[in-house]
Amino acid sequence: MRSSILTGTPPTVKGNPVQNPLKQSRSVKKSWLSALVAVPVVAMLAGCAGGSNEAATGTEDDVIQIGVIGASDPYWDIYQDAAAEEGISIELVDFADYTQLNPAVSEGELDMNQFQHLVFLADYNVSSGSDLAPIGSTAIYPLGLYSTQYDGLDEISEGDTVAVPNDATNLARALLLLQAEGLIALDGGGNNLSGLQDIDEENSKVTVTALEASLTAASLTDVAAAVINNDFVEKAGLTFEGALAADDPTDEGAFAYINVFASRDEDKDNETFLRLIEIFQTNQDVQDGLLAVSGDTAVPLAATTAELEEALVGVTADVEAAE
């Protein structure tokens, strides 16, 4: 992770800083994006009338915008070129803050995003009253525990502090990982919606602090260990092989953590969008690049839309029951 605070860091379009990639005019979108000045994304989204609710067609004058975390990863360039070979123009909009991508799709500022698993999506839909839909899968990534102070779990001392992501769904997943490794105990054994309030402190070895996901790696100088999302591992100068522990992406219960492309519900049958999903899942160079960026830890999966929708229904029911 980086030492600077990333919360609120402006998204970028292929490395060019912009603050909010609105689609006020599809025909002049790219030049308009490049000229934007720094204005907080969330504030802009809240204050504007919203983007176009009409899905882009993927022509040169009507580029499909996809919000991602880590647009500089090489496989995204490969993907963009593969789409262009089929006459589909896409633009990747890079974000540093997970919380901004779904509102941008809901408001019509983006056509799709690709950064989240089904639990995160369900939590967003329930909390915001939205109905974003999973339209294609990418992979399941393990969530790992890292340290720059210790080489093994057994070196972590009683009372040490461990940092975890603070978004509700990755927080729960991180807590389950810490419990599996004997560092904490959760009331009732925990579940994919557990929070800090569910930690049984008397029976836990460490103290847990929750930080914005992009900051957990930066906290390693101050804590014994940190649970770090895959997007930020190598950016922090860490290696996937260096994790003290990680959950198992092949476990039966891991399907809820499959990463997906998401769009507005009315666009879930858009033929161009679905072709983009197919390109991502079947282009070998893209798949090889995805694996390389994950340090070969990802488990690529091409789940059907029906499978994703069925899983989302189940996860959503769990989220609603916990409200």
The pLDDT of residue 203 is 97
Sheet holding 90-94, edge to edge: 16-17, 12-13, 90-94, 64-68, 112-117, 258-263, 133-140, 299-300
Structural domains of the chain, with CATH: 12-142+254-322 (3.40.190.10), 144-247 (3.40.190.10)
* Confidence at residue 54, expressed as pLDDT on a 0 to 100 scale: 81
Quick one: pLDDT at residue 51? Answer: 55
Task: Compute CA distances 290 → 77, 94, 206, 238, 285, whole Å.
Answer: 11, 16, 34, 17, 9
Per DSSP, helices labelled H in the chain are 29-35, 41-47, 74-85, 101-106, 118-128, 168-180, 230-233, 271-282, 284-293, 305-322
pLDDT value of residue 253: 84
Chain segment 66-100, per-residue pLDDT in tens: 999 999 999 999 999 999 999 999 999 999 889 99
Name the strands in the sheet holding 225-228, side by side, starting at the edge strand that comes first in the sequence: 207-211, 161-165, 225-228, 144-146, 245-246
**Residue 23 confidence (pLDDT):** 37
Low-confidence ranges of the chain (pLDDT < 70): 1-53
Q: Would you tell me how many other CB atoms lie within 10 Å of the CB of residue 94? A: 23
Please give the Cα distance from 103 to 290 (Å, whole number): 25
Q: Rounded to whole angstroms, how far apart are CA atoms 42 and 104?
A: 9
Strand partners, 225: 162
- The whole-model pTM stands at 0.78
Q: Are 111 and 64 in contact (CB under 8 A)?
A: yes
| Model pLDDT, residue 231 | 85
